Amino acid sequence: MKHITSLFLTISLIMSAQALNAETITDTYATGDTLTAETLNNIKSAVNDNNTRLTTVEAVAGVSADFTGYALPFSADGDPKNIVIARRLNRDGTINYLIRSRYANSSEQISIQGVNTVRPLIANYGFVTVDSSGTITGINNYIEAPLTEVYENYVIESSSFDTTSLIKTVDNDTGSELWSCGTTVGVIQVCNIDVRDSGASTRDFESIRVMGLLGAGEIDGIAFTNMRGSQRSYGDSAWYEVRAKGIGRVLKINHDRAVEKVIFYQVDGNADGSLAGTPFAAGQLLENFLR
């Protein structure tokens, strides 16, 4: 919250400075003075000038901006799956490769409390851990299966893979989350998250996001035309992230200073970046998260 408060203070100071520099009403008034057309015009001019200045501040602060469309979209059923792969550098020298994929689904089954069932949408998240010598030491993933693309209510299947055989083992399939997000007000969005296990609520907390549009930018050689930055809290964690419109998260800096940056993405048939030198170069490992 410290960083969020700082941002609010910065915006407030900007608005205060604008007001101090606005066109001044130079007329002086005394009891019994006659209200003239000239006086009214002076007041109108000053008010209009202030309105123009404040509108400019609101646009800069993102109050009237469109923050929608900055999540990875679900690909159509049967189409190539939309995917973003990022590399995360940890302070202990290890590397995590994070795989985020979203796709509509008519046949793939996931486990929900021991029962395999088909859900209409799949968000598959993989984590591959590599030590300082480049050896794969862990492969995990979890699947979030929302009922709709609004993505407010979803069940979770958490799994691990054998690093040699790549056989998948479901570790937990009793979790779910229910999100309730209010309409974005100005640059702020607040969500309430109800975390559940076997249907029972185990934790309830708020997530607060403060957003701003960044325009065009580049992450490790991959160019993006529309980007959105945000500071976000989630339970006990906080981080800064950048999202590209129609692609999703491309940069994340955690509170523990671990840095995650996109290295490859494929969305709606368009791709950029490179998997050279990663565990996915041969393709087999990646397919375990996409099939």
Residue 49 pLDDT: 63
Asked whether residue 262 is domain-assigned, the answer is yes
Residue 47 pLDDT: 62
Element at 6 (helix H, strand E): helix 2-20
Per-residue pLDDT of the chain in tens (291 residues, 90 and over written 9): 444 444 333 333 333 333 334 456 666 666 666 666 676 666 667 666 655 554 544 444 444 588 989 999 999 998 999 999 999 988 788 899 999 999 999 999 999 999 999 999 999 999 999 988 888 999 999 999 999 988 889 999 999 999 988 899 999 999 999 999 888 888 999 999 999 999 999 999 899 999 999 999 999 899 999 999 999 887 677 889 999 999 999 999 987 778 899 999 999 989 999 999 898 887 778 887 765
Cα 155-269-109 angle, rounded to 5 deg: 25
Residue 237 pLDDT: 78
Question: Is the domain of 123 the same as that of 224?
Answer: yes
Question: Is the domain of 123 the same as that of 206?
Answer: yes
Asked whether residue 70 is domain-assigned, the answer is no
Question: Is the domain of 285 the same as that of 233?
Answer: yes
Residue 250 pLDDT: 96
Asked whether residue 251 is domain-assigned, the answer is yes
Residue 220 pLDDT: 86
Question: Is the domain of 230 the same as that of 272?
Answer: yes
Question: Is the domain of 139 the same as that of 283?
Answer: yes
Question: Is the domain of 132 the same as that of 231?
Answer: yes
Residue 16 pLDDT: 35
Question: Is the domain of 53 the same as that of 105?
Answer: no
Question: Is the domain of 170 the same as that of 206?
Answer: yes
Question: Is the domain of 86 the same as that of 57?
Answer: no
Phi-psi region of 104 (alpha: psi -120 to 50; beta: other; left: phi over 0): beta
Asked whether residue 224 is domain-assigned, the answer is yes
Residue 91 pLDDT: 78
Instruction: Give strand pairing partners of 54.
Output: none
Residue 62 pLDDT: 45
Element at 101 (helix H, strand E): strand 95-104
What is the C-alpha to C-alpha distance for residues 173 and 32, in angstroms, rounded to an integer?
79
What is the C-alpha to C-alpha distance for residues 264 and 248, in angstroms, rounded to an integer?
12
Other Cβ atoms less than 10 A from the Cβ of 173: the count is: 21
Question: Is the domain of 129 the same as that of 186?
Answer: yes
Q: How many domains does the chain have?
A: 2
What is the C-alpha to C-alpha distance for residues 77 and 70, in angstroms, rounded to an integer?
21
Tell me the CB-side half-sphere exposure of residue 218, using CA atoms within 13 A: 4
Residue numbers of the domain that contains 242: 82-290
Question: Is the domain of 19 the same as that of 95?
Answer: no
